[in-house]
């Protein structure tokens, strides 16, 4: 056990590795429309530092809402959400913005690139947020070196998603959150993008949380959190992780 910010962190032992919790959630609830639409009900989970967790479930089961709450995009109605040692539910909106800026990166199904800026400027925006100047390696690793002067509309879907990944990683986030990152891509491009995400995770060692409705993609994760109707119905560890090219699609 270790004490960080007055919270006792459990050290999980996996073989020789000793890991601390990066995300700890206890009994959170979230509803919309003044409580009429209950979306998350008594959700608890933990994700270790450096772990790759997938949140799996059918459309409408509450996956994106759970991701939004654990990444500081939205606040839960009640419950405990401790991420990287900070209690997100006790933060002001300004503190949450600061938290997101300093610690997390996002990749969404819809790329959300700024259309009037070049690839280089889009990526630089991410890097500037964290005052990071050394992102050339990420550009090389994602195969974007010859695309830097292009605008998003001149790129294929897979290339645009690689720019989004580069933008998120240029911040050097502690946690990368991805919501259906391959949802808009065909099989070949989807596998390439997933492979590239997993390789960057291996290399850089950040914690990764990916939302998907695709059971095959869940086989690439270390931990699978299964949701149904706003509740977690199962949390399982994959004994072995498949690569993006070994799974079905």
Binding positions for ligand ADP, rule: CB under 6 A: 32-33, 37, 39, 57, 59-65
By beta-carbon proximity to ligand ADP, the closer residue of 93 and 202 is: 93
Q: Which residues are registered as beta bridge partners of 179?
A: 108, 211
Q: Least separation, in Å, of the C-beta of 195 and ligand ADP? A: 24
By beta-carbon proximity to ligand ADP, the closer residue of 37 and 44 is: 37
By beta-carbon proximity to ligand ADP, the closer residue of 84 and 212 is: 212
Q: Least separation, in Å, of the C-beta of 222 and ligand ADP? A: 21
Q: Please report the beta strands in the chain, taking only residues with DSSP state E, as ranges in sequence order.
A: 2-4, 7-9, 11-14, 17-32, 37-48, 52-57, 78-83, 86-87, 104-108, 175-179, 207-212, 223-228, 231-237
Q: Least separation, in Å, of the C-beta of 180 and ligand ADP? A: 8
Q: Are 84 and 103 in contact (CB under 8 A)?
A: yes
Burial class (CB in 10 A: 0-12, 13-18, 19+), 58: exposed
By beta-carbon proximity to ligand ADP, the closer residue of 32 and 112 is: 32
Q: Which residues are registered as beta bridge partners of 55?
A: 211, 225
By beta-carbon proximity to ligand ADP, the closer residue of 50 and 60 is: 60
Q: Name the H helices within 34-156.
A: 63-70, 93-103, 119-129, 136-141
By beta-carbon proximity to ligand ADP, the closer residue of 55 and 165 is: 55
**Which one, of 30, 40, 36, 37, lies nearest residue 77 by Cα?**
30
Q: Least separation, in Å, of the C-beta of 67 and ligand ADP? A: 8
Q: Least separation, in Å, of the C-beta of 6 and ligand ADP? A: 31
Q: Least separation, in Å, of the C-beta of 69 and ligand ADP? A: 9
Q: Are 28 and 78 in contact (CB under 8 A)?
A: yes
Q: Least separation, in Å, of the C-beta of 62 and ligand ADP? A: 4
Strands 104-108, 17-32: pairing kind: unpaired
Burial class (CB in 10 A: 0-12, 13-18, 19+), 157: middle
By beta-carbon proximity to ligand ADP, the closer residue of 229 and 243 is: 229
Backbone angles phi, psi at 187, to 5 degrees: -55, -50
């Amino acid at each position: 056990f270790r004490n960080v910010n007055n919270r006792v962190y459990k050290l999980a032992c996996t073989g020789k590795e000793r890991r601390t919790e990066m995300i700890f959630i206890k009994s959170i609830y979230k509803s919309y429309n003044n409580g009429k639409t209950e979306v998350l009900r008594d959700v608890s989970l933990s994700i270790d530092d450096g772990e790759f967790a997938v949140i799996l479930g059918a459309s409408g089961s509450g996956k994106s809402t759970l991701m939004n709450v654990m990444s500081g995009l939205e606040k839960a109605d009640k419950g405990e959400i401790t991420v990287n040692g900070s209690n997100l539910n006790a933060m002001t909106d300004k503190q949450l913005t600061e938290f997101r800026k300093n610690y997390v990166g996002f990749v969404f199904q819809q790329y959300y690139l700024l259309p009037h800026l070049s690839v280089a400027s889009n990526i630089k925006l991410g890097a500037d947020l964290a005052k990071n100047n050394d992102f050339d390696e990420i550009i090389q690793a994602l195969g974007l070196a010859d695309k830097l002067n292009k605008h998003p509309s001149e790129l294929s879907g897979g290339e645009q998603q690689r720019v989004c990944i580069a933008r998120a990683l240029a911040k050097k986030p502690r946690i990368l959150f991805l919501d259906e990152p391959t949802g808009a891509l065909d099989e070949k491009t989807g596998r390439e993008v997933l492979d590239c995400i997993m390789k960057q995770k291996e290399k850089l060692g950040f914690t990764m949380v990916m939302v998907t409705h695709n059971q095959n993609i869940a086989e690439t994760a270390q931990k699978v959190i299964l949701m149904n109707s706003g509740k977690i119905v199962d949390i399982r560890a994959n004994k072995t992780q498949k690569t993006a090219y070994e799974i079905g699609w």
